Structure 1
Amino acid sequence: MKSLTSPIQSAMPSPLFLWRFKVLLFLTWGFICCKVGWDSVMRMDANLRNLFIYEAFLYYNPLLLVTMMVWLWGVNLWVFSQSNVSYAKVFDLDQNHLTHNEIWKCSIWMTIIVPSSMTAYLYLYSHGEVSLAASQPVLLYIFVAIVLIFPFDIFYLSSRFFFLRTMWRIAFPLQPITFPDFFVADIFTSMAKVFSDLERSVCRMVNRQVATIAWLEADSVCGSHSSAIPMVLMLPYLWRLLQCLRQYKDTKERTCLFNALKYHVFPEKWTSLYRPLWLLSSVVNSLYSFYWDITRDWDLSNFSRIFRFNKPTLISNLFYGRKWVRMRSI
């Protein structure tokens, strides 16, 4: 029998060839960005080179870390799918939720766009185009904000709306707390570096201090001694504190109050008097959070007799399996 394959179909490249071609393009783009970025850094004066690199990463580090987080979230979803974990029901997602392949597509685009903007910033600034260089991070942040709030049905509208709605519920916990609410808020508490760099980046953009490496951080409006940074770092813990209090109001479970102790914060001024208290509270918070993660969140009680439970939980069953008892017939 003759083959029914049309000439057009036979002329199309195979999926394996297309995948290899895309990988080759991605690697070529990565090499070009590294080469242009390295040459741009080496063009700078040796005395200003460290400040030049520091400022570049100050603007782009938040989005670079978020990009890495999106990649890892795709890995989590892949593990869930391979393990037959119904994460869509756990996170209360609709039928249009993103799969790990779609999450990885988003992370690929983020991996392309963010370093490309950073490379353009390095190249333009090192070649004397300061105003054009200063516009690169500003345009990038505006682009990211527009993509998130774009109201039309492109680029996963339902998932973007779900994320924005979750962020609204986290910022204003006036309703019963759902699993996505405290899960995303808990992730925010681990993003201290992202929030601190984001605050300084936005501050410098608002005050038109982008691409001005000849500055003293201690005297700058957006320096490390700015009072806005501890306020920004406090927000995720304050949100989790309010969530725990809301959960206690709804469930009357005392464990919600104990969990709230992990997120107790107070915005005192940074002075020599409060520094020892701040260090002490940090140590106590870290130890208590470690205890809570071991005994409640991860349930790794089998690792230590100190944290052993009498009643097994769902997490312990998933980690260690169940002990089946065979009943003898009487």
Structure 2
Amino acid sequence: MFENPATISSNSPHLRKSGSKSVFTDPGLNGHLGGGVSDMGDLKGSSSPLHITTMVPSPIFLWRFKVILFLFWALCCCKIGWDSVMRMSIDLRDLFLYEAFLYYNPLLLVTMMVWLWGVNLWVFSQGSVNYAKVFDLDHNHLTHREMWKCSMWMTIIVPTSMTAYLYLYSHGEVSLAASQPVLLYIAFALVLIFPFDIFYLSSRYFLLRTLWRIAFPLQPITFPDFFLADILTSMVKVFSDLERSVCRMVHKQVATIAWFEADAVCGSHQIAIPLVLVFPYICRLLQCLRQYKDTKEKSSLLNALKYSTAVPVIFLSALKYHVMPESWTSFYRPLWLFSSVINSLYSFYWDVTRDWDLSGFTKIFKFSRPSAISNLLYGRQWVYFWVIGSNLVLRCAWTYKLSAHLRHNYITVFTMTAMEMLRRFQWVFFRVENEWNKITKSHPMGEISLEEDKLLGSTTPHDV
């Protein structure tokens, strides 16, 4: 949509408005037209390219048409979903919504994260931070427009499936309703692992390979490895609900509203919940240990210690279902709160001083290597106050919501998970620019430009 148009000669008649005189004399053209300067009015009856292009709808018209269709679709989904919920009896309505949120909130949150990542890429494309170089991506990597295209389709597909689930269940079609989330999960899994060269195969392969390296950190750790692992730590609630959803699908408990019966199998008491919650932190901890083995940097051990502080928060919370209420209130709950505070403050300190390299509050308003993004986004004092303050508050709130015994308030948990993704979204800007600054310090800009020219030269077709 925004690519550079093909170069057109200044003498081309396509640059002249309809009805205007020609401003040049072409001997070859004059010979065919009778030796005189032609009038554009003589060409009105011909099938010139100008008349063809006027028949094509303008991009603005197409964009507005798509927006109107999207708003109409969203209104229909909201109306059908609301009517379906209102058909349920009051005593079953909360359980009904609880179950619907369980199946669909993981994919809704993933969709939100894809949208935000597209915004990250768009901001990077406006400045001098070469994110492709930072993540070591090839020329086939997805741009922000392609990320937004993917997220748009996800925004359409997931709520449509959720609306169909609500409608079918409220109208007594229980078996058809139960098939909706199952089909949706299968479709997403197939698209992700599809081996053929469609649906951005190279990008899907890059994602799957990075996930494999995160789960099994047997090779030297690269920046994409621990960057994606950090993002996964912000999505542990997504994985927790995903595990419970798949568990209910496997045990054929979808669309049953037998919540308390199903909870004994796929609920708060199973050991899988804290294991799923802690898994991204354990992966990140192992990455830090592997990085220390390769580099012998003590900061890697301190970073590993940060991720280890999340383990007590998760498992102390899970103990609520396995100890007496008096023991929980008098001993385990205070210990859980103490470990939550330690994890929040340590993580906040590491974000500011290490991931963002702001060195406390001494370098907040001055960059050693200012860039276009710095001037665009970070060059205002209120931005720093907002980023640091919101990061501290959301770090504390997110650590609190890591706890398994708080999961039943699904609206609060959904909101806190969305806010954590917004915190990670703003974290990305500073983290990627900090990494880009390290690259430009270690490699002169001339060398980087030469590398880019070679890459472009190897992928750009020769002029004919």
Give TM-score, length-normalised by structure 1. 0.90
Displacement of 1:274 after TM fit? 4.3
Match among 319, 333, 341 for residue 283 of structure 1: 341
**Structure 2 CA distance for partners of 1:162 and 1:123, relative to 1, 3 Å:** same
Decide which structure has greater helix share: 2
Q: Give the letter aligned to residue 136 of structure 2.
A: D
RMSD: 2.4
Partner of 1:70: 114
SS at match of 2:124: helix
Match of 1:115 in 2: 159
Q: Give the structure 1 partner of residue 73 of structure 2.
A: 29
Contact 1:169 1:175 in 2 (8 A): yes
- Corresponding residue of 1:328: none
2:349 alignment partner AA = Y
1:216 aligns with 2:260: yes
Q: Of the candidates 183, 204, 208, which is equivalent to residue 160 of structure 1? A: 204
Q: 2:219 maps to which residue?
A: 175
1:8 CA drift (Å): 4.7
Secondary structure, counterpart of 1:48 in structure 2: helix
Counterpart contact for 2:353–2:360, Cα < 8 Å: no
Matched residue type, 2:268:
S
Which of 289, 292, 306 pairs up with 2:350? 292
After superposition, the Cα gap between the structure-2 partners of 1:218 and 1:143, relative to the gap in structure 1 and judged at 3 Å, is: closer
Aligned to 1:11: 55
Matched with 1:126 is: 170
Distance 1:77 1:113 in 2: 23
Aligned residue type for 1:10: T
Identity of aligned residues (%): 75
1:123 & 1:162 partners in 2: Cα distance? 38
Task: Say which of 88, 93, 96 aligns to 1:49.
Answer: 93
**What letter is aligned with 1:284?**
I
Inter-partner Cα distance in structure 2 for 1:38 and 1:279: 39
Greater Cα offset, 276-285 or 133-142? 276-285
Q: Secondary structure at the match of 2:181?
A: helix
Cα offsets for 1:55-97 (capped at 9, x unmatched): 1011000000000000000000000001121000001111000
Q: Is 1:61 matched up with 2:105?
A: yes
Contact 2:95 2:257 in 1 (8 A): yes
In the alignment, is the contact (CA less than 8 A) between 1:117 and 1:136 conserved in 2?
yes
Q: Which amino acid aligns with 2:197?
A: D
The residue aligned with 2:275 is 231
Within a 5 Å distance, the mapping from 1:199-214 to structure 2 comes to 199-214=243-258
Q: Is the 8 A contact 1:217 1:224 kept in 2?
A: no
- Asked if the contact 2:288/2:301 (under 8 Å) is kept, the reply is yes
1:93 match: secondary structure = coil
Instruction: Find the aligned partners of 2:243 and 2:158 in 1 and give their Cα distance.
Output: 18
Counterpart for residue 137 of structure 1: 181
Query: What amino acid does structure 2 have at the position aligned with 1:5?
Result: P
Pick closer, same or farther for the CA change 1:261–1:60 going to 2, 3 Å.
Answer: same
**Structure 1 residues 104 and 219, CA, compared in 2 at 3 Å: closer, same or farther?**
closer
Report if the CA contact (8 A) 1:67-1:110 is conserved.
yes
The CA distance in 1 between the partners of 2:379 and 2:168, in whole Å, is 56
> Which ranges of structure 2 fall in alignment gaps of 5 or more residues?
1-39, 381-464
Counterpart-to-counterpart distance in 1, 2:192 and 2:349: 37
How far apart are 1:303 and its partner, in Å? 2.6
- Larger displacement relative to structure 2 (234-243 or 12-21): 12-21
Q: Alignment partner for residue 262 of structure 1, among 303, 306, 330?
A: 306
What's the secondary structure of 1:216's corresponding residue? Answer: helix
The CA distance in 1 between the partners of 2:284 and 2:276, in whole Å, is 14
Tell me the secondary structure at the aligned position of residue 226 of structure 1.
coil
Q: Equivalents in 2 of 1:208, 1:217: separation in Å?
A: 12
1:92 aligns with 2:136: yes
Shift of 1:217: 6.5
Q: Is the 8 A contact 1:177 1:246 kept in 2?
A: yes
Verify the 8 A CA contact 1:166 1:181 in the aligned structure 2.
Answer: yes
Residue 94 and residue 44 in structure 1: after superposition, are their counterparts in 2 closer, same or farther (change >3 A)?
same
Deviations 1:92-139 (A, max 9, x none): 111000000000000000000000000000000000000100010000
Give 3-state SS (helix, strand or coil) of 2:259's partner. Answer: coil
Aligned pair in 2 of structure 1 residues 230, 197: CA closer, same or farther (>3 Å)? same
In 2, the alpha carbon distance for the partners of 1:122 and 1:149 equals 29
Partner Cα separation in structure 2 for residue 121 and residue 313 of structure 1: 54
TM-superposed CA distance for 1:50, in Å, is 1.1
Aligned-residue offset at 1:281: 2.0
Distance 1:135 1:214, change over 3 A: same
Counterpart CA distance in 1 for 2:143 and 2:117 is 10
* TM-score (norm. length: structure 2): 0.64
Question: Could you tell me whether the CA contact under 8 Å between 2:285 and 2:304 is conserved in 1?
Answer: yes
Distance 1:258 1:315 in 2: 28
The one-letter code sitting in structure 2 at the alignment partner of 1:287 is: L
1:162 partner SS = helix
Structure 1: gaps of 5 or more residues: 322-330
Segment of structure 1 superposing worse, 263-272 or 86-95: 263-272
- Asked whether the 8 Å contact 2:168–2:174 carries over to 1, the reply is yes
